[in-house]
Structure 1
């Protein structure tokens, strides 16, 4: 997974970069097909904003979060992305079918 991290009105420190990397590993546990991630961290007065776009095979997942603390914004962002990735994975699995043969299903 390729991670692109951008900062608007904020310096991306090594600790912030490491924190984002560790949190994004959580998403890989649920879905292996994440090709790249673009994360934007920005500061606007007292608001800390984190937004991300995940490029998954067959879809793009976007989420954002605004908090008073940047680390809290990143945590909230990852939670939102995690829910969306799980939902996308379940949707992909359900559209493939359950594998039950219709001939045998009607006889029961």
Structure 2
């Protein structure tokens, strides 16, 4: 998995960059099918940085979270939290679909013999 950090209108220190990478890597524990994570930090307004986080997963699924204003590390935490919520919701939806599909097959098998005996 690739992690890219880019900045606009300024630079961030290596220490801040390593903190951001550590926070963003937590997302892979939640959803292991992530292929790329891109963090964009806009420092046009030094006191209110804009942070965009885009995570790409297999099968062309993109997850995006944005935070504007506040301190840089607090904005990173907020964006990571938003993306965690999106990933949890997506993962739950996928798991629910598979459970429902398996349940429907079982119901169809049970219902089919009953309808044949009722018609005879």
Asked whether the two chains share a fold, i.e. TM above 0.5, the reply is yes
Task: Please state whether the residue corresponding to 1:11 is helix, strand or coil.
Answer: coil
CA contact (8 A) 1:27 1:82 kept: yes
TM-score, normalised relative to structure 2:
0.80
Alignment of 1:48 onto 2:49:
yes
Q: Matched residues in 1 for 2:110 and 2:21: separation?
A: 48
1:104 to 1:60, Cα distance in 2 relative to 1, 3 A = same
TM-score, normalised relative to structure 1:
0.88
CA contact (8 A) 2:52 2:79 kept: yes
Shift in Å, 1:28: 1.0
Alignment of 1:13 onto 2:13:
yes
Higher radius of gyration, 1 or 2? 2
1:105 to 1:52, Cα distance in 2 relative to 1, 3 A = farther
Indicate the residue corresponding to 1:79 in structure 2. 81
| Contiguous gaps of at least 5 residues in structure 2 | 115-120
Q: Matched residues in 2 for 1:81 and 1:4: separation?
A: 16
More strand by share: 1
Q: Which moved more, 1:93-102 or 1:56-65?
A: 93-102
Aligned pair count reads: 107
Shift in Å, 1:105: 8.0
More helix by share: 2
